[in-house]
Structure 1
Amino acid sequence: MFEGLKVVVGLISFILVYRTVTGNCNKYLAFAICAIWLRFFLAAFHTITYPPLIVGFSINALGSISVACLGLLVIPTPVFTLKKFFPFFLFFVCIAISGFVNMKIPGTINVLVKWCYFLVLASALILSVRVQGQNATFKKLLVAFTMPVALQILSVVLGQAKATEADGSASYIGGYNHEAAFSMIIVSFIFVVGLIERGTLSFRTSLFTLSVFLLVLVNYRTSILTILPIAAVFYFTLAEQRLKPSQKAPVMMIVAMVLLSSFLALSFTMKERFADIGLLLSNLDLMLKAPIYFSDAERDIMSARVYIWSQYIDAFRNADLLNQLLGFGPDSWKGRFNLYAHNTFVSYIYEYGVLGVGSFVFVCISVLLNALTLKDRKLSKILALSFVGFLAMNMATMPLWNIEGLIFFAILNAVLIGHKKSSKSRQVSTDNRELLNAN
């Protein structure tokens, strides 16, 4: 029954997407909407689209490759030469070097295709933001999320839940394959709603609140931690905009207390899910402990994540100098470990070595500095705290391993790079002129 509902919802979402992209929509935004919608549509039918189909590639993988290749043809070359993309290209070079030195060619191609997907999607959204504006861009982009959001609501109404944890808790993920990837879809949806300015979107606050509630129902603790700073900024800003200067101090204090109480209530209702985080923080030395010395109780901390990290770190620590410098290559964990690292930084230091993880840290620092230096202080807070939350998520899972996580990262960087320095100024920067001339 639910599979049939997926088909119906998919067709309805396709009609909505078609009407949006054929309306007042620039071609770059149309490309981004179609790319994101296609990913969500294919992922919904994971029993068909995930298994290998042609030369080891699944329908899902072929869809991502097609989007990446088409994007390279559609996006004007000048956008790829923006200075703010330099840290990313440095990281890509480290991935390629690690892959070719270790002769991990298939893994290298797989990883670079994913990052190419990120690059073309971010570039398309940058162009749209600069050409059509942030509000118009993200208001239209919401249509790409129609299918997963609708399916999750239907899964709640129909009781279509997925049992995920040993404690018997359930995840409502709309019939998608895994709560990790699906949680990033909802996080991206929340983020996009939060980026749209007040008065631009009807029922914006209700939609934002509903999406936060839906994320809680996904029941994936790392994504919940990611969204906390985004939600805090949203509600603080909402309250602040409706107050007179003389009212701000007392009312904002009340708002802060309400948010804190809500967080504590959420923590209490999910205390079994979050208890391991406190246990880890009090035993950080466990990550440096050799896996053979882990007790049975220690192996269970954070759903065995700490034990998994120790395996990767121990393998890196015992590697030769070349592997410590360049890593073992993209996707080299396959065949050696049963599970992926569940930590982006741990995975990168194993796969790409000191140079690779160092270049990724450079990417993170660049993104954070770009967010903190935005002249629009409200947007600066939203982006900086959103990225901090995203980094926290990367400490306990690997959103950048999935296309869904790269979609969120692409949207965030598109706002950072595409946002105009001054909305009142009619002067266009050199980068803007190059991009607009290429349009």
Structure 2
Amino acid sequence: MNEATSFGPSFGLQILVPVTMLLLVPLAIAYVRSGSTAARFVLVALWLRYIAGAYHLWMFRPIAAGLSGNAVVSIATTGIGLLFVVRFANLAIRWVVPVYLMMAIVLVSAILNHDPSGAINAVVKYLYFLVIALAVLQAHRRDPEGHFIGWLMVAFLPLTVFQFLSVVLHLPKGSELDGGLVWIGGYNHEAAFSVALVAGFVVGCFARAAHPLPRAIFLLAMLVGIQLAGYRTAIFAMGPLAVATLWISITTSVRRDQRPFMAGVGAALAVILVGVAVVFYADKFADIATIAANPAALIKPPGEFTWADKQVLSARAYIWSSYIYAWLEGGPVQHLVGFGPESWEGLFKVYPHNTLVGTAYELGLVGVLGMLSLWLTMLWVAINAKGERLMLIAAHASFLLLNMATMPFWQVEGLGLYGFLCGYTMYRARALASHRREPIAVRSTDWRPAPS
């Protein structure tokens, strides 16, 4: 899973091993304090993925049956979760039906394209997402206050520690922008690293039971880390959740009778910060204004793209066009169910950089409808959740924006992010359903006979 054909800069084992040993200490403390088997599973699963990313020179290479080290870790994590963590009854929750639909589409597409083995990797990824989501749901049911989420922040320490070391030791990586440098802690690519930091920011936003100071420091570290990683998609996608978190934090920091006033103050501050961000990131996001001014200019066959066209959005429009026109040139079967899961590998130099574009090429129109059904189902669950509804909707909006210029569903880091978000969302929605089912308590004075 997430194979790589080229490798970014990496720390040597003389740094990786001792730092990993040190990082095991907070992990052990968080493991003990997390409280439930499900919470501990999520903690270790995410921590292992982020540690493995630092060892990409070794973990991206085949080690068993043609599988990379990352693939072995992901498969083992999924298997352990299904066998020993996830309750069988939770697999039947109606909100996860779209996940099974996507796995069925993957299998049908692989069979019709005569590549059944190509479905294995994709199915494991969906199962990984499902296991993380249901484990988060179960952990929250055992810990309604969500204390385990605060301890879950420890899983992201490898990212911040190694990124800090990359700055101190001056180990940058060339960015997707010409002449740019990014700081990604010796990890392979800024895309997966940034998505992992986004996952950390999402976790920190919902760690409401954690101590305010460590939580604030953690959220700041995630935001600074995303900035240092320099991945524009992640920076842009964080907008809705960051604004919602700021507004809610300001509004709920005072007494209830003062909240209407603070809500206005928070809204004004959010508008100011958005304006500052627009000015600060004007150069980085100038391409968006270019496309918005004339979106039809980049809707054309890839052969008609000029050199200047290919520079817009780091050639994303050109990449999308290459996939879309290749899919259109397919037959009826390909239009319906695509060319098969991960069929682009070996044919294109880069991945599609858009989940819906990639899904159309791999799984066709049926796959796109299936993916949309999954996203819209979880968004509907967020809309009907009890508590933190605005933040949940904003978090789902941020995730959907992330999918428009990169592919979290192709990266295990992204599946961990969405797994946590969906698990938390389902818990909030189930809490509302349970609240509605509770019988209304009858006051003791209601049944007493009236005095004669």
The amino acid across from 1:413 in the alignment is C
Larger deviation: 293-302 or 199-208?
199-208
Alignment of 1:43 with 2:53, yes or no, is: yes
Which one of 51, 62, 66 corresponds to residue 52 of structure 1? 62
Give matches, 1:189-268, under 5 Å.
189-197=200-208, 200-243=211-254, 248=259, 251-268=262-279
Measured after TM superposition, the shift of residue 427 of structure 1 is 7.5
- Distance in 1 (alpha carbons) for counterparts of 2:104 and 2:369: 12
Measured after TM superposition, the shift of residue 425 of structure 1 is 5.3
Alignment of 1:349 with 2:360, yes or no, is: yes
- Distance in 2 (alpha carbons) for counterparts of 1:171 and 1:196: 28
Q: Which residue of 1 aligns with 2:98?
A: 87
Across the aligned residues of Structure 1 and Structure 2, the Cα RMSD in angstroms comes to: 2.3
Give matches, 1:284-363, under 5 Å.
284-286=295-297, 288-363=299-374
Q: Which residue of 2 aligns with 1:5?
A: 15
Q: Which residue of 2 aligns with 1:142?
A: 153
Q: Which residue of 1 aligns with 2:426?
A: 417
Q: 1:134–1:196: 8 Å Cα contact kept in structure 2?
A: no
Q: 1:130–1:418: 8 Å Cα contact kept in structure 2?
A: yes
Which one of 369, 381, 388 corresponds to residue 380 of structure 2? 369
TM-score by length of 1: 0.91
- Residues 164, 428 of structure 1: CA spacing in aligned structure 2 closer, same or farther, 3 A cutoff? farther
- Residues 125, 246 of structure 1: CA spacing in aligned structure 2 closer, same or farther, 3 A cutoff? closer
Measured after TM superposition, the shift of residue 295 of structure 1 is 1.7
- Distance in 2 (alpha carbons) for counterparts of 1:339 and 1:274: 22
What do the CA deviations read for 1:305-361 (whole angstroms, capped 9, x no partner)? 101111111112222111101111001112322211111000101110111110111
Measured after TM superposition, the shift of residue 244 of structure 1 is 5.0
Give matches, 1:128-139, under 5 Å.
128-139=139-150
- Residues 154, 424 of structure 1: CA spacing in aligned structure 2 closer, same or farther, 3 A cutoff? farther
- Distance in 1 (alpha carbons) for counterparts of 2:42 and 2:256: 40
Measured after TM superposition, the shift of residue 288 of structure 1 is 3.5
Alignment of 1:408 with 2:417, yes or no, is: yes
Q: 2:247–2:270: 8 Å Cα contact kept in structure 1?
A: no
- Distance in 1 (alpha carbons) for counterparts of 2:423 and 2:269: 32
What do the CA deviations read for 1:55-93 (whole angstroms, capped 9, x no partner)? 321111111111111112112211111111111111111
The amino acid across from 1:411 in the alignment is F
- Residues 211, 399 of structure 1: CA spacing in aligned structure 2 closer, same or farther, 3 A cutoff? same
Q: 1:180–1:399: 8 Å Cα contact kept in structure 2?
A: no
Q: 2:164–2:185: 8 Å Cα contact kept in structure 1?
A: yes
Give matches, 1:98-137, under 5 Å.
98-137=109-148
Percent of aligned positions with the same letter in both sequences? 30
Alignment of 1:70 with 2:86, yes or no, is: no
Q: Which residue of 1 aligns with 2:398?
A: 389
The alignment covers a number of residue pairs equal to: 427
Q: 1:26–1:128: 8 Å Cα contact kept in structure 2?
A: yes
Report SS of the residue matched to 1:421. helix
- Residues 25, 427 of structure 1: CA spacing in aligned structure 2 closer, same or farther, 3 A cutoff? farther
What do the CA deviations read for 1:380-430 (whole angstroms, capped 9, x no partner)? 11111111111111111111110000000000011011234259959789x
What do the CA deviations read for 1:204-239 (whole angstroms, capped 9, x no partner)? 233323321221111111111121111111111111
State the structure with more CA Rg.
2
What do the CA deviations read for 1:25-49 (whole angstroms, capped 9, x no partner)? 2111111111111111111111111
Q: 1:198–1:204: 8 Å Cα contact kept in structure 2?
A: no
TM-score by length of 2: 0.88
Q: 1:286–1:306: 8 Å Cα contact kept in structure 2?
A: no
- Distance in 1 (alpha carbons) for counterparts of 2:207 and 2:214: 12
- Distance in 1 (alpha carbons) for counterparts of 2:433 and 2:215: 22
Measured after TM superposition, the shift of residue 281 of structure 1 is 2.3
Unaligned runs of 5+ in 2: 1-9, 440-452
Q: 1:154–1:174: 8 Å Cα contact kept in structure 2?
A: yes
Q: 1:42–1:49: 8 Å Cα contact kept in structure 2?
A: yes
Unaligned runs of 5+ in 1: 430-439
- Residues 372, 164 of structure 1: CA spacing in aligned structure 2 closer, same or farther, 3 A cutoff? same
- Distance in 2 (alpha carbons) for counterparts of 1:325 and 1:425: 42
- Distance in 1 (alpha carbons) for counterparts of 2:42 and 2:174: 33
- Residues 33, 206 of structure 1: CA spacing in aligned structure 2 closer, same or farther, 3 A cutoff? closer
The amino acid across from 1:269 in the alignment is F
What do the CA deviations read for 1:170-206 (whole angstroms, capped 9, x no partner)? 2111111111101111111111111022664543233
- Residues 398, 241 of structure 1: CA spacing in aligned structure 2 closer, same or farther, 3 A cutoff? same
Larger deviation: 214-223 or 128-137?
128-137
- Distance in 1 (alpha carbons) for counterparts of 2:76 and 2:102: 23
The amino acid across from 2:295 in the alignment is L
